[in-house]
């Protein structure tokens, strides 16, 4: 089963501050280890929301708002797609990313959620 691990953005991240060197080095090493183990399928960091846009459709009306966005705590700063046998295994893998940040003295909030797989949609008639 595939899981998405989403690292929440921080105010410093949204302000354009570069991640600490220890975080970058630790995450590079962790990504390599996970890729070699076959559990990391994809991993990317996102640029701050000031570089993006928000599209919203309400009542059939489309609006586009350029970043930055006010609610930093709701923004994703990076993500990874992991392959794990269970939610518990996905959490254990995600803990390793949290540990990299913790060792560097960086606070982190990380969300883990399963991705839909073709069997989740049933068989075709």
Q: What is the pLDDT of residues 84-95, one digit of tens each?
A: 999 999 999 999
Could you tell me the pLDDT band of residue 30, with boundaries at 50, 70 and 90? Answer: very high
- Domain count for the chain, please give it: 1
Task: Identify the CATH number of the domain in which residue 101 sits.
Answer: 3.30.70.1060
Residue 123 in domain: no
Nearest CA-CA partner of 77 in 18, 26, 36, 125: 18
Higher pLDDT: 34 or 73? It is 34
Residue for token pair 């899981």: 3
> What is the average pLDDT value for the chain, to the nearest integer?
92
Residue 84 in domain: yes
Tens of pLDDT, residue by residue over 59-103, are 999 999 999 987 766 889 999 999 999 999 999 999 999 999 999
pTM: 0.86
Residue 94 in domain: yes
- Structural domain boundaries enclosing 97: 2-118
């Amino acid at each position: 089963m595939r899981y998405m691990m989403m690292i929440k953005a921080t105010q410093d991240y949204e302000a354009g501050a570069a991640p600490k060197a220890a975080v970058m080095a630790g995450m590079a090493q962790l990504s390599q280890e996970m890729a070699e183990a076959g559990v990391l399928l994809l991993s990317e960091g996102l640029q701050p929301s000031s570089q993006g846009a928000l599209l919203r459709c309400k009542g059939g009306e489309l609006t586009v708002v350029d970043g930055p966005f006010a609610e930093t705590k709701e923004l994703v700063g990076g993500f990874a797609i992991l392959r794990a046998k269970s939610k518990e295994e996905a959490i254990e893998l995600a803990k390793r990313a949290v540990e990299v940040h913790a060792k560097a003295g960086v606070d982190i909030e990380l969300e883990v959620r399963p991705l839909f797989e073709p069997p989740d949609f049933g068989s075709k008639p």
